[in-house]
Structure formats: structure tokens, C-alpha cells
Amino acid sequence: MRPNIICHMISSIDGRLLTERWNAPNGEPATGLIHRVYEEAAGRLGGQGWMVGRRTMAHYIEDQRKPQLLEQPLKRPAFKGSPAGRKLAVVLDPSGKLLHAGDDLDGDHVVSIVSERVEEAYLESLRRNGVSYLLSGSDGSGLSDAVAALGEMFDVKTILLQGGGTINGAFLAAGLIDEFSTLIFPSVDGMAGIASIVDYHGSRTTQPSSDFRFQLAGNETLEAGTVWLRHKVLRRHVA
């Protein structure tokens, strides 16, 4: 059974994602304040780990490579390292671009979800560094099977999905988000084209949330006037 997935994000009033573009209410740079408010709220959600896309994880793991993907997908078994009671830091990295030097990220155990076209040498490097991995379809799009396997392998009941917007959009469209935990920080980006907290990539006629409705489950005002909204994601009943 797959874990409960809570999409936990912080946004500006206009729904933008890039926190380095925001100022605190007093006009000062807001980076430290944003991090503190975000992490304190995350700690109250009871997640056994967190999950992000490759570009978000690249803020923590800077070394990358140019992958040499297999011409055809090849199914291979997953690998479980030694989490040893740590929370999980899960990255969706279909092409295997990130170069991991070890399995620990700020005290959390790293798990990589890659596609079946990743070459064996890359998987060997993950094993050598103790990084757990799961294979997710021919192009990494088999999200449902991957998160179900994640839940079974590590007995994960709840995990936090923390962006970026593209990954959040893919999970929403796949029906894999059970709750939105959204912190609205009192700042406005205001610039057209800046990434938002959910950015599904599809045609203009696509409506990735059309099968769902969103029920308010809680709201709270936090430090510096940040508003915390929690919404349950419910599937619409078709008559």
C-alpha cells in the first residue's frame, strides 16, 4: 500500500515558489524566517520522510553527470540500503543525473527513484554509496508503482511531497496527493513566468485537478503573519 502523501509547500500570496525573491514584512530578506516557519510546520505533519524532484534536490547535491541511458528499459530489482531509523530523503531522478557521495543528507537516508533505462554502472555507484533506489517505468513516470514500493520497502505511512512545482503537478495529475499543506507567506512575487507551487506540464486544455475537490481541514496563523492552510484532496464522484 502506498503512503499517505502530503504536498507541503510555502508560497507567496500570488502562489509563486522562489523564496529568494521574497521579503519579510519588515522589508528584510526573508530566507531564514521562511525556512524556520516551513520546517516547524513540516515537523507537525508526522511524515517519515520527504520527497522532491531532481532540480530541487540539486540545491543539496550539486554534483551531476551526463547520463548514458540504455536504449531499451531493463527491469532490475530495487536496492535497500541501511536507513537505520532515519527519515527518508527521496529524490525522483529518472535519468540518474545526481552524483551521490553517500546515503546521508542532513541526517536523512537518501532514496533515489530512477527509470528502467538507467545504466547498471550508475546503479552500482548508488549501491556502493549505500543509496537505496527504486526503478520507475521506462521513463520514470510510473509514480504510483514507485511510491507503493517505497511504502512497502520502508514501511512508510506518511511522506511529504516538497516540490518543485513540476513534480507536484505530476503527482496531482496521477491522483497521488492526499492532502495539501500550504503556507502562504506575506510577500508578493508579482512577476509573470515565475514557477508556482504546482506546475503541471500539459496542453492548455488539460485540467490536472478536474477529478478532485479540495476540502478545508484546518487553518492557522503562524509567525510573521504566515497563514497555514490544510486541504484534503477528495475524488469527485461521477454520476
pLDDT for 194-210, tens place per residue?
999 999 988 888 899 99
Which set of grid coordinates corresponds to residue 104?
546521508
Global pTM value: 0.94
145 Cβ neighbours under 8 A, 6+ residues apart: 136, 137
pLDDT for 205-227, tens place per residue?
889 999 999 999 999 999 999 99
Residue ranges of domains in the chain, CATH in brackets:
1-47+157-239 (3.40.430.10), 52-147 (no CATH)
CB 131 within 8 A of CB 80: no
Tell me, what's the pLDDT at 137? 84
